[in-house]
Amino acid sequence: MIVIACPGQGSQTPGFLAPWLELPGARDFLGEASEHAGVDLIAHGTQSDADTIRDTAIAQPLIVAASLLAWRELSARVSIADAGIAGHSVGEFAAAAAAGVLTEAEALRLVAVRGRAMADAAARADTGMAAVVGGGEADVLAKIDEHGLTPANRNGGGQIVAAGSRASLDALAADAPRGARVIALQVAGAFHTDAMASAIPLLREAAEGVTPTDPRHPLWTNADGSRVTDGGRFVDLLVSQIANPVRWDACMAGFEAAGITGLVELAPAGALTGIAKRALKGTPAVAIKTPDDLDAAVALVTGPAA
């Protein structure tokens, strides 16, 4: 089984959408997506600087729209009807649309609410996130707990993301677990922790306005890595994941149990394929960073491994 992976926040870089606008219909799609999200995605994806697109209210719809554009382009080139789908954190909104649980418009409207609500929650305290790369899992988790932080993302491949106050993250960086590096992430708050609890009611209220359907593809949840077959339940999980840890390690275990033969990461890609190379050793992976990468993705989907 080929798995299509939708990336999370932090994967965006200045100007990354520019080459996509050369594709027929891409500008129209992003224009419509901008209307749904209430954000000028074309301007932010081509002209805005790194600080601007780090803003949670901008970054989240920008990433989801980019993933959906890449999904459209890949689908137009090759049949991926049998592919599995999963998203990392905010990438679950793109995954929901790709799997047919939500329409693209619903996913973009909801993620815009999510981004604004999380930005507001993040502004209430000086918090952030840092990746702890390497070290033994037990030692890393113990050190995170020692400094009063939360293991917000357990990504597998030797990477756990700690979240909490900036002061505690600085203390963790100065007291890194044996054999590990602590790398500050370019996000604006302690996502997937109790610090985001105030965002949940706003997203829940917005989610009451959508009509989910059951997924057309195998679909995994960040909550625990299990397969979700009920669209309504998946939307409930989209709401609650704001303040709960992302278990990408469990998702990858689910991919392996399903017999994964390859992984394709949608734009703006790179992080999840990097993790896959360490955690899913021997599984071919393609990151669709620009339209030039679509041919490699098609080759993986249609090749002998598939």
Q: Which residue has the tokens 């129209």?
A: 28
* H-only helix segments in 147-199: 166-174
CA dihedral over 118, 200, 140, 224, signed as positive or negative: negative
The torsion angles phi and psi of 276, rounded to 5 degrees, stand at: -60, -35
Side chain identity at 110, as an amino acid letter? L
Contact 102, 108 (CB under 8 A): no
Helix (H, G, I), strand (E, B) or coil at 288: coil
Q: Rounded to 10 degrees, what is the CA torsion of 67, 109, 200, 251?
A: -20
Choice among 34, 89, 168, 217 that is catalytic: 89
52, β-bridge pairs: none
Q: Is 88 a catalytic residue?
A: no
Q: Is 89 a catalytic residue?
A: yes
Contact 114, 93 (CB under 8 A): yes
Annotated catalytic residues are 89, 192
